[in-house]
Amino acid sequence: MPTAADILIETLIDWNVDIIFGLPGDGINGIMEALRRRQDRIRFIQVRHEESAAFMACAYSKWTGKLGVCLATSGPGGTHLLTGLYDAKLDQAPVLAITGMQFHDLIETFTQQDVDLTRVFSDVAVFNAQVSDAAHMESLAGLACRSALARRGVAHLSIASDVQEHTLDQAKRSKRNKPSHTPDRWFEGSRLPDEEQLAKAAEFLNGATKVAILAGRGALGARHELEETAELLGAPVAKALLGKAALPDDHPLTTGGIGILGTLPSQEIMEECDALLVVGSTFPYIEYYPKPGQARGVQIERDPQRIGLRYPVEAGLAGDAAVTLRLLNKRLKRKDDRSFLEKAQAGMRRWREMMAQSEQKAATSLKPQVVTRAFGKRLPDDAILVADSGQNTEMAARHIELRDGQAFGVSGALASMACGLPYAIAAGLAFPGRPVFAVVGDGGLAMQLGEFSTAVRYRVPLKVLVLKNGMLNQIAWEQMMFLGNPQFACELQPIDFAMAAEAMGGIGYSVSRSEEVEGVLDAALAAEGPVVIEAVVDPYEPMMPPKMPPDYAKNFRKALPDTPGRAEIEANVAQEPLRSMITAGEKE
């Protein structure tokens, strides 16, 4: 007779779940036994921290489009999942979190690990339930999977440890509950936009003279349709970070990234456009959008709730990006005037020249952009690239140009540190035949460094470039530029990451001189198995926005006198090509 745990795992298998990320514990012993008996049909990946399990489940869902699943024991096991689950919530990745509980008759008695995880998960989850017995599990397991997939969010099931081992014959099924009354699948049709809104969108875009496009993660499956739209409208395409792979970075129709990590041409097209088409993005930084009233707004978004979230759109197209763009393109007229696009393309040529300058600055210490650019140039055509959160994100966004066929992943709206290594491991497990690369900082990597041993254990041959500057550099620059405060408490105790990689059974390399970069990278990327490349880089390298707002410059000058490393920072800024970008856009 099947137990509640058996029913759960069989249901997951029926829902095409092939991998679960987690860490064993006595609160989930019944589920672990159900997994042990089905190792030929579903794989359990043991992590070193439950936060990583949630990050991996989120990333696995993003990479594959399938349901990501993570498993944790009662109490602290469940609470450890939260950061990775919020990553899934904010980036709309379908994830099922399964947590254990204490014995059902000891709940709310202040016993060990007595945490009401259904209450804890009430904000993060779109579906959240405590399972009472095996019959209840029959009703809930499939519904949890369906809810996560249909609502593109987190579903949570919490099961007391003894309930996991309850069998169906022990369950008291109600007369109204019949077994197998729901299918183990979900049904999704293509949402089509309203015809009236589609006509309005075409009217606005055809009538505009300077159309800008903002593409996000929702545009990733609409490469050819997006390309056709941009070509018809003569519209440059700025990309939110989650949409970095929507068009190749060297494509003539894109101005690259947008925002503080983005490019000057992307900011300029937003400042000058008279129509804005947003495709699959809710890029959160409102200050980088056109001013309200400046441009007529059109937005394509699967979730109607998110239409108009950042800009006052006049035509909202609720639907899949590829399907909607195909319908829209039939109504668009090709613009003969390409001057707006050509100006953006000229701006991108200047931008690339400035990036090249910044990668060639004379320096006694290794610049992070030098090693990042060299790393990026070596990525194979089918590479998967991951970035963590911090200055390393800026380096990956600006100095690695994705080519056609390459993929990119990052913690988007949550922008959590420590996501890089779990994301990379999930990519390697999702696509064993594809090479996986990560750019991380020493701050983020230190948070989940133990997961490198997970990559070793499961033979995920990822290559991790860690930019070791001994600083929480992005935070330091935010302290100075945002508030005018001297940098404080951002220095890090150094870790020998190459040695740590070796200690965990992997391979470690270290580089600290520009002339050594090429040789070290060639050796590291040729090595088999998981590799860490520790690049000891300049801790005083500035983080410059694409255009320096006057208050940022004022705050920076105010903070500098009392900031450690003032002389080195001043020397770096004096060489930084981006410091003059406030006027660069005016030059032809």
Residue 162 to residue 100: CA distance in whole angstroms:
10
pLDDT given at position 109: 78
* Domains of the chain (ranges, CATH numbers): 4-170 (3.40.50.970), 195-346 (3.40.50.1220), 361-584 (3.40.50.970)
pLDDT given at position 178: 67
pLDDT given at position 544: 86
pLDDT given at position 258: 98
Q: Of 146, 131, 279, which is closest to residue 214 (Cα–Cα)?
A: 279
Q: What is the pLDDT of residues 212-225, one digit of tens each?
A: 999 999 999 999 99
Q: 153 near 125, Cβ under 8 Å?
A: yes
Angle at 564 between CA 558 and CA 569, to 5 degrees: 70
List of the chain residues with pLDDT < 50 = 580-588
Q: How far is CA 281 from CA 277, 321, 406, in A?
A: 10, 10, 20
pLDDT given at position 481: 92
Per the structure block, which two tokens stand in for 184?
Answer: 């183990």
Residue 337 to residue 392: CA distance in whole angstroms:
39
pLDDT given at position 586: 35
pLDDT given at position 583: 35
Q: How far is CA 429 from CA 38, 491, 562, in A?
A: 19, 34, 47
Q: Which residues contact 320 (CB under 8 A, 6 or more apart)?
A: 190, 191, 221, 302
Q: 278 near 258, Cβ under 8 Å?
A: no
Q: 129 near 96, Cβ under 8 Å?
A: no
Q: What is the pLDDT of residues 372-409, one digit of tens each?
A: 999 999 999 999 999 999 999 999 999 999 999 999 99
Angle at 473 between CA 472 and CA 474, to 5 degrees: 100
pLDDT given at position 188: 74
Helices (H), 458-527: 473-483, 497-503, 517-526
